[in-house]
A = this chain, B = another copy of it.
Amino acid sequence: MRRVLVAGIGSTPFGRHGDATITSLALHAAGAAIAESGLDRARIGSLYLGNFIAGPLTGQEVLAGLVADGLGLAQIPCTKVEGACASGGIAFRHAYLAIATGLCDVAIAVGAEKMSHADTASVTAALNCAMDNAADGVSGLTFPGLFGLAARLYGERYGVGRAELSAVVRKNKGNGLRNPLAQMGATLRDEEIEASPQICDPLRLYDCCPVSDGAAAVVLAAADLHAELTAQPVEVAASVQTRGSPRIGGHRDLCSFDATVSAARQAFATAGIEPRMVDLVELHDCFSIAEIIDAEDLGLIPRGESAAWAREGRTGVGGDRPINPSGGLLAKGHPVGATGIGQIYETVLQLRGAHPNQVRDAAFGLTHNLGGTGVACTVNILKRLDA
């Protein structure tokens, strides 16, 4: 496998983009990433686009070809990939593999979603496309319901509750406040979180990520092209994709997603580093409880201690293990297909030392993107070139 660099990044703000089409959002992000890389777009040999529900919500598929056409790329392979909320991470991995395996020297991964124009019932129905409808759809369970169950179970098992969930929310909302791309940064007190509407016991409104529009893109290049790059590159030390059960009954434990555990183990082995060497993490906090579970599944915090770490502030930007300095899905937003690539965007800024919530001397960053009921997962490890 050849060494691969992130050569350029681009993103729209995450949030509400009114009447903008999903294609226009993707083109904005992709154009910015290409421009920053300094590479001629004629050299791009492959495009992957991560998207989950543009079909049901916008009536538009073939997004990979639409974006390539708008960018004026050559007659290259252009592919939309889908794995629910992990669609963006899957797009990134495939662009990475195209270069690592020698198929081309430059590739682009784009993630995009447009959701805010649709009514709540349509959005809920579309998101439920990520469940196994034959097995679980009939139960009436939604994703907030699933993570509400996980929060109850985790809380009872480890003796934690509202205070720890709120600590995650406060941290991420606070981080989001300083991230210009974030949809819903805020300075929140525990009482405000507790007073927000109950969604699925024990989850409150602030425990749930918002409905978002947005797009993000990264240009990847073979390490041979380093001298030609105009932005500071970072290296992809590992890019792993796994699957887990699409059925809730297929999970032995709702306090862990085995697709994450497996992906993280493979990623650390590939990168040749220990979890303690990770300077910052952008992980899939679709709900506050998800951040607590994911951090343990990734091997970053010992099992059962993640909630306490959150309460003690050890996952803040200046803490022992900074998690979601971007604000995460909770505050930055979750335009589903864009999220996994947005995580790469944020991590690259950190490794360049240019993030608005900079983690000091960040050398290794990890991103974690999880789809559905843990059915698809990607974990990437990025590193500073001098690390």
Cross-chain contact A243 with B134 (CB below 8 angstroms):
no
Q: Which residue of B lies closest to A53 (CB)?
A: B55
Cross-chain contact B59 with A128 (CB below 8 angstroms):
yes
CB distance from A92 to the nearest CB of B (A): 12
* Chain A 212-248 near chain B by CB (<8 Å), digits 1 or 0: 0000000000000000000000000000011111110
Residues in A318-372 with C-beta less than 8 Å from chain B = 371-372
* Chain A 80-115 near chain B by CB (<8 Å), digits 1 or 0: 111110000010011001000111000000000000
Cross-chain contact A82 with B97 (CB below 8 angstroms):
no
B-side contacts of A55, CB under 8 Å = 53, 55-56, 126, 129
CB distance from A32 to the nearest CB of B (A): 21
Q: Check A253 for interface membership: any CB of B closer than 8 A.
A: no
Interface size class of A (residues with CB under 8 A): 35 or more
Q: Check A187 for interface membership: any CB of B closer than 8 A.
A: no
Q: Check A376 for interface membership: any CB of B closer than 8 A.
A: yes
Q: Check A280 for interface membership: any CB of B closer than 8 A.
A: no
- The CA of A19 and the CA of B284, in the complex, are separated in Å by 36
Cross-chain contact A134 with B77 (CB below 8 angstroms):
no
A134-B52 in contact given A61-B82, A77-B242 (Cβ < 8 Å): no
Q: Check A133 for interface membership: any CB of B closer than 8 A.
A: yes
Cross-chain contact B75 with A83 (CB below 8 angstroms):
no
A62-B129 in contact given A79-B90, A102-B101 (Cβ < 8 Å): yes
- The CA of A94 and the CA of B101, in the complex, are separated in Å by 13
Q: Which residue of B lies closest to A98 (CB)?
A: B97
- The CA of A306 and the CA of B241, in the complex, are separated in Å by 45
Cross-chain contact B75 with A130 (CB below 8 angstroms):
no
Cross-chain contact A83 with B80 (CB below 8 angstroms):
yes
Cross-chain contact A52 with B59 (CB below 8 angstroms):
no
Residues in A279-307 with C-beta less than 8 Å from chain B = none
A78-B243 in contact given A69-B250, A83-B65, A101-B97 (Cβ < 8 Å): yes
CB distance from A373 to the nearest CB of B (A): 9
Q: Which residue of B lies closest to A76 (CB)?
A: B243
A133-B59 in contact given A66-B375, A250-B69 (Cβ < 8 Å): yes
CB distance from A137 to the nearest CB of B (A): 8
A69-B247 in contact given A77-B242, A376-B78 (Cβ < 8 Å): yes
B-side contacts of A21, CB under 8 Å = 134
B-side contacts of A62, CB under 8 Å = 82-84, 129-132, 246, 371-372, 375-376
Q: 22 A-B Cβ contacts within 8 A?
A: A23-B134, A53-B61, A55-B126, A56-B59, A58-B133, A62-B371, A62-B376, A64-B82, A64-B243, A64-B376, A65-B246, A65-B375, A66-B246, A69-B250, A75-B244, A76-B243, A78-B243, A78-B376, A79-B90, A80-B81, A82-B82, A97-B103
> Which 3 A-B pairs have CB atoms at the shortest separation, nearest pair first?
A65-B375, A101-B101, A77-B241
5 additional A-B pairs beyond A59-B133, A61-B129, beta carbons within 8 Å, are A60-B133, A62-B130, A65-B83, A75-B259, A81-B82
